[in-house]
Amino acid sequence: MAGSKSRMPVAKTYKIYIGGKFPRTESGRYFTIDGGDGSVIANICRGSRKDFRNAVVAARKAFPGWSGTSAYLRGQILYRIAEMLEGRAEQFVAELVLQGVSKRRARKEVDVSIDRLIYYAGWSDKYQQIFSAVNPVSSPHFNFSMLEPTGVVSVLAPDDSGLLGFVSNIAPVIVGGNTTVVLASEQRPLCAVSFAEVLHASDVPAGVVNVLTGYREELTGQFASHMDVNAVVYCDAEADDAADIQVRAADNLKRVVDRVGTDWSSENAQNPYRIKDTQEIKTTWHPIGS
Amino acid sequence: MSTESSKLAFDDGWQYAPAPESTDHVSIDDQYGLFIGNEFVEPESGRYFDTINPATEEQLASIADASEADVDRAVRAARKAYSDAWSKLKAAERGKYIFRIARILQERAREFSVIESLDGGKPIRDSRDIDIPLAAAHFFYYAGWADKLAYAFPGRNPVALGVAGQVIPWNFPLLMAAWKIAPALACGNTVVLKPAETTPLTAMKLAEVIRDADLPPGVVNIVTGAGDTGAAIVNHPDIDKIAFTGSTEVGRIIQRAIAGSGKKYTLELGGKAANIIFADAAIDQAVEGIVNGIFFNQGHVCCAGSRLFVQESVADEVIAKLKDRMETLIVGDPLDKNTDIGAINSARQLETIESYLKVGREEGAEMHQSSCDVPDTGYWCRPTIFTGVSQSNRIVQEEIFGPVLAIQTFRTLEEGLDKVNNTPYGLSGGVWTDKGAKIFRMTRKIRAGVVWANTFNKFDPTSPFGGYKESGVGREGGLHGLDAYLKLEA
């Protein structure tokens, strides 16, 4: 293919994304995405549990800053991600096609992904108003309940939807001020890695989103059991053993968010309750008096 | 400010005459069966256990010990009531039944208060002014939600889950039953509830109320027993939701046990809450808040303020005042209206607390206790504070669930905050300062579900309660407490 052209195209090295940097997996391992005809599309980092631990450290470090960012700014940053993705739409379409998605469906997946980001960008300064409450307690106190991000959220992105499934899961998590470590689709990991580059160019602070690629079977347990992760999100009934995830999550009473059965292209895949799923409710009391 | 000059002379002249609440208006049966389908029935095994008065060690009644078969019977009654009656009832009518429970509880409030104090050891003042009125208020609050649920969930259609299995602790027996039953019923579910084995009596009295309120048989079933009975509820395949209040350890076991079952769950677990006092706080008010925070209900409170951080410049003053105030607390007969601190709930809990007192001293902390007398029989623990403790001490890290306070100091807000948040728990916290901006900075940064500023240990049915991190999952109370008992359809 290259031989017929005057210059050699430069192939991309797909790496993982931790703390705003693109390292290779510390394990030095890889797996191959092939084009179905025996050709190699890319060697993908086969991330390790150590990579995951490093990513959690980066996510924890980023949490105070990101959760303290104003809702307006978080909204603008999500909007910025959408802008960047729009500008690179052709690249993502091409990557999806490389991974076996039809051109027409790939185009739609990219379009919906961009719109999904816009959707959640718009929620950034509104979900709080929908879900908060001032509580009319009987005693002379001012009492209110509002949402705060749960903390570090691990996300096992769906395997069948390399871009849209990825975007649909991280957007509600980060718009709410959480930081996250995401395991990309195992069969279609290219878009997740390229999306990390989009995030990197979108004023998303380092460590807010960390992206690993690798074998689901090897990493799921750690995503569910890590003691400094506050919530785990999973999407595939088959790839992710729900019972096993919940058992492991119990070690530190992690919140377990079940997204199994979601049609990512549907309007039902987006709503503010998905933001609320990785939020805590904090109630504050103060006396009313002299 | 000299601590000497501000010390009040509590120790001479002030003696309180006994003011015991009478018990002659209270009737407790010798024996209670299981409440299934609006009837008290024999347990299948024929086994009963004693519930005793922890202040006297005398037996109050014998209580049925529910086996797996008994739990199954209760679940079947609840399922049938759900399918045949409760889910077919108009929501407004459902609400009226719950209002009725609230009203009967108010009518029988004095009786319930006395029984709560007899069975659990808590001061009658607390049962009378807090536990029982709040329990009634909970039913009243949630009753009104029954036909308004759609308004709480914009864009969704809320539907009942089915049968809720609920396991509650011994520290606020009736109140916890109300926290569990009221929202479950309002959301259209039926219930199988297990009270704690040391405090089943007000739950059995509540069963009478439910029967007298004429609820359809099986809507509320109350089964008594210990851990095995709770496990039978948790593991029952025909239960749709588990609500548990208790220790973090058991919470973990429950989350594992129901893994993959599809059961919805809420867990309200342990805590190691911190109060933090800044130098600019109203110190006397803060001291009262700290005392209430740790000694309320003998410290048997999951959100108890069991850690205290005092800004260094006022530490000596605060600690001196705390010691003085602690010395004035009246420990003794739970039925006496003067009593501040009643009996420890059980011999087992007393043993746990005493083992921590030993651990605290062995780890090098300095222990101060009130010099008060305690009765010869019954289970008692003098109010206790530890100073000279460090972050890694077990009495700082682990929940003691008794009247034991660990005091540390801090210099800057950031240091204080780090120490406050240095715990796997996240149920509650308290901030004491006169600076408004500092209050909001702290209440935002404390990683806990309930934060009290310039107050502590306040509860209300409209106010959501529940923990961050290892203090639990989900909220109880208020609008946010509805979520736990509903499925939200698109």
Q: Same domain for B244 and B337? A: no
Residue B351 lies in a domain: yes
Q: Are B230 and B123 within one domain? A: yes
CB pair distance less than 8 Å for A139 and B460: yes
Does residue B458 lie in a domain region? no
The catalytically annotated residue of B111, B116, B197, B268 is B268
pLDDT score for A4: 60
C-alpha neighbours within 13 Å on the C-beta side of residue B375? 19
The domain segmentation of chain A, as residue ranges, is: 16-131+149-277
B469 touches chain A (CB under 8 A): yes
Q: Is B107 helix (H, G, I), strand (E, B) or coil?
A: helix
For residue range A156-201, what is the model confidence (pLDDT) as tens digits? 999 999 999 999 999 999 999 999 999 999 999 999 999 999 999 9
Q: What percent of chain B has pLDDT over 70?
A: 97
Angstroms from B355 CA to nearest CA on chain A: 25
* Residue B482 · residue B147 · CB < 8 Å: no
Residues B218 and B310 in one domain: no
Distant-in-sequence, close-in-space partners of A257: CB < 8 Å, separation ≥ 6:
A231, A232, A233, A234, A277, A278
Q: Is residue B472 domain-resident?
A: yes
pLDDT in tens, A67-104: 999 999 999 999 999 999 999 999 999 999 999 899 99
The C-alpha atoms of residue B264 and residue A250 are separated, in whole angstroms, by 14
Residues of chain B with confidence (pLDDT) below 70: 1-14
Domain co-membership, B309 together with B400:
yes
Edge to edge, the sheet with strand A209-212 lists: A209-212, A179-183, A152-156, A231-234, A255-258
DSSP category for residue B130: I
Contacts B449 to A, Cβ<8 Å: 280-283
Total domains in chain B come to: 2
- Domain membership of residue B299 as a residue range: 271-453
Residue B8 is assigned to a structural domain of this protein: no
Distance from CA of B358 to the nearest CA of A (A): 28
Q: Is B317 a catalytic residue?
A: no
Name every residue whose Cβ is closer than 8 Å to that of residue B473 and which is 6 or more positions away in sequence.
Answer: A253, A255, B255, B265, B266, B267, B466, B467
Residues B257 and B278 in one domain: no
Please return the burial class of B329, using the count of CB atoms within 10 Å of its CB with bins 0-12, 13-18 and 19+: middle
User: Which pLDDT value is given to residue A226?
Assistant: 98
Please check whether residues B57 and B96 belong to one and the same domain: yes
Helix (H) or strand (E) holding A54: helix A49-67
How far, in Å, CA of A288 to CA of A283, rounded? 16
Q: What is the pLDDT of residue B16?
A: 84
CB B77 within 8 A of CB B217: yes
Give the pLDDT score at B11.
59
Name A133's bridge partners: A145
Measured distance CA(A242)–CA(B256) in Å, rounded:
11
Tell me the three state secondary structure of residue B61: strand
**Is-contact B299 B401, C-beta < 8 A?**
yes
Q: Which residue has the tokens 């109350």?
A: B222
Residue-averaged pLDDT of chain A: 95
CB A211 within 8 A of CB A236: no
Burial class of residue A32 (count of CB atoms within 10 Å of its CB; 0-12, 13-18, 19+): exposed
- Same domain for B127 and B176, yes or no, is yes
Residue A1: pLDDT over 50: no
Is residue B4 situated within a structural domain?
Answer: no
The half-sphere exposure of B30 on its side-chain side, counting CA atoms within 13 A, is 0
Nearest to A19 by CA among A80, A67, A61, A70: A61
In the chain, the amino acid numbered B477 is G
Give the model's confidence band at A9: pLDDT under 50 very low, under 70 low, under 90 confident, else very high: confident
Q: Which two tokens stand for residue A18?
A: 């931790």
Q: What pLDDT sits at residue A240? A: 63
Q: Which of B387, B426, B384, B429 is nearest to B408 (CA)?
A: B387
Q: Which among A247, A253, A281 has CB closest to B475?
A: A281
Q: What is the mean pLDDT of residues A116-142?
A: 98
Tens of pLDDT, residues B39-85: 999 999 999 999 999 999 999 999 999 999 999 999 999 999 999 99
Coil, strand or helix at B366:
strand
Residue B184 to residues A73, A183, B189, B192, B208, Cα–Cα distance (Å): 39, 37, 5, 10, 19
First to last CA, chain A: 81
Contact A283 B156 (CB under 8 A): no
| Amino acid at the residue B183 | P
Would you say A179 and A208 are in contact if contact means Cβ atoms under 8 Å apart? yes
B368 within domain boundaries:
yes
pLDDT per residue as tens digits for the range A232-280: 999 987 766 889 999 999 999 999 999 999 999 999 999 999 999 999 9
Q: Which residue has the higher pLDDT, A2 or B197?
A: B197
Please report, for the domain that includes residue B371, its CATH number.
Answer: 3.40.309.10
Q: What is the pLDDT of residue B1?
A: 41
What pairs with residue A94 in β-bridges?
none
B268 belongs to the catalytic site: yes
Identify whether B246 is part of a domain: yes
Q: Are A135 and B478 in contact (CB under 8 A)?
A: yes
Domain A16-131+149-277 - what CATH class?
Answer: alpha beta
Q: What is the pLDDT of residue A231?
A: 98
Identify the closest residue of chain A to B151 by CA–CA distance: A130
**Domain assignment present for B462:** no
From B259, B230, B264, select the one nearest B247 (Cα to Cα).
B230
Kindly state whether residues B423 and B483 are assigned to the same domain: no
Residue A1: how many CB atoms within 10 A of its CB? 6
